Amino acid sequence: MANKVWFITGASRGFGRIWAEAALERGDIVAATSRKLSDVADLTERFGDRVLPLALDVNDTEQVKKAVAAAHGHFGRLDVVLNNAGYSLVGTVEEVREADVRALFDTNLLGTLRVIQAALPILREQRSGHIVGVSSVLGLIGIPLLGLYSASKWAFESLHEALAQEVKPFGIKVTILEPGAYATDFGSAASVKVSTGLEPYAALRQHVVSMISNMDQGDPRATPDAVLAVIDAEAPPLRFFVGSTGLPRVRDAYQARLGLWEQWANLSNSAQGQPTKGVVSL
């Protein structure tokens, strides 16, 4: 198997760093990006010219274009485009500030979109490539205090689901990675913005924080083999749970959703009216 060329956002820490190192350790080539070049520059000391450290703020469209072009120009191709950059916003729907929500979506959704749009002309010309996005189990279910983070990831999931259908004819693969709770620094001050709390939600906040604090957290160092196997698969899945906690939680949530839809199906169907065929403008 030929060594793959990766472009990774958010490679300074957490999953981005762990998976970048795993790819390099097996002989792959990585353009490792971070908002601060110094946070990824140390990789060259260990892996030499198989790594290209790049400064990249995914909120800067021109910088995204230049970074993707620099990686392609340096290595001659791109095989895996891994969007890992992102952060969380903690607060109830009433508590969050609009400006904070805009900033969250600018990074988690539009930042990913910028990278994909910059990479797609290269991947289409190659007639190959694998776009991989790091979502979350919370991209499939919602919990209190993390509704806006979930909303950014639900949009992230929809973007990739549509993308997979659009780029399949060009030989481009798409995978969404959906980790559960892991012992990374994703909960650190650098990765989370916390909204000012309102007193009526104090008890709920305490309950949710306690619940999250008592969750079993996975070992992020146990993830590379599974992630690399997905990347190397001839027919990789569109969605892949990273860890053992996602499937049981989502199975329960989806069973509840289906049950509720079925319960109200007769009323839903009554709203259909008489079927007609019309022209839909796109």
The verdict on whether 201 is a catalytic residue reads no
The verdict on whether 173 is a catalytic residue reads no
The Cα–Cα gap between 9 and 222 comes to: 20
The Cα–Cα gap between 8 and 5 comes to: 10
Q: Residue 24: which residues within 8 A CB-CB, separation 6 or more?
A: 30, 43, 46, 47, 50, 51
Task: Report DSSP state, residue 279.
Answer: P
| Per annotation, catalytic residue among 12, 34, 88, 135 | 135
Three-state DSSP state, 134: strand
| Per annotation, catalytic residue among 88, 136, 149, 182 | 149
* Beta bridge pairs of residue 202: none
CA angle 69, 74, 80 (to 5 degrees): 70
The verdict on whether 149 is a catalytic residue reads yes
* Beta bridge pairs of residue 175: 132
| Per annotation, catalytic residue among 12, 136, 153, 173 | 153
Catalytic residues: 135, 149, 153
